[in-house]
Amino acid sequence: MSSTFKCCIGIAVALQFAVPVLAAPKVVTFKKPAPTAASPPAATIPAPPPTAATRNRIVSTPLNPDYWIGVQVGPADSVLRSQLKLGELGLVVRGVFEGSPAIAAGIKKDDVLLEVTAKGQPAPLKERLDLVRAVNAAGPDDATVTVRLLREGQEHTVTAKPAKRPVR
């Protein structure tokens, strides 16, 4: 049997092939190899059963904290770091949520957050997760955090009271 096909550049190519008639299909089966001493089976860690505290809420993680102060932050670029002599520190406030603890504390858009102190432990702010961890570590609703920031070249210190993060 012979067939002719055109390639994408317009050249005709002839292919010769034979088709076996009434050939029984060959069945191939794969078996999972048995584990040996050299290759133990992969261990899995079962998830803990839900408790009353975790059943109806998402578990708190650094990416999903329980508490917040209500700011959107981003890293300070190299020019800003150089001009303000920040070194590795600095998160720029890109936005402040209405009615948030940050509004009550007086934090404004374009402030540069340098450090957060929660429960007497100062946390220099190099990346967003540093802020998230420090605020979440403050814990219960009656705790406060002290935020050291730069505004228009002047250093300020404000106190914010972290609140329960609103459900999204």
Q: What is the pLDDT of residues 93-139, one digit of tens each?
A: 999 999 999 999 999 999 999 999 988 899 999 999 999 999 988 87
Residue 105: Cβ-neighbour burial (10 angstroms; 0-12, 13-18, 19+): buried
Q: What is the pLDDT of residues 63-89, one digit of tens each?
A: 557 888 999 999 998 898 889 898 889
Q: Residue 7: pLDDT band by 50, 70, 90 thresholds?
A: very low
- List the Cα angle 106/92/156 in 5-degree steps: 40
Q: Give the helix/strand (H/E) hosting 158.
A: strand 154-160
CATH class of 67-164: mainly beta
Instruction: Tell me the chain's radius of gyration from C-alpha atoms.
Output: 30
For the chain, the structural domain boundaries read 67-164
* CA dist., res. 163 & res. 139, Å (int): 9
State pTM to two decimals: 0.61
Specify whether the CB–CB gap between 135 and 162 falls below 8 A.
Answer: yes
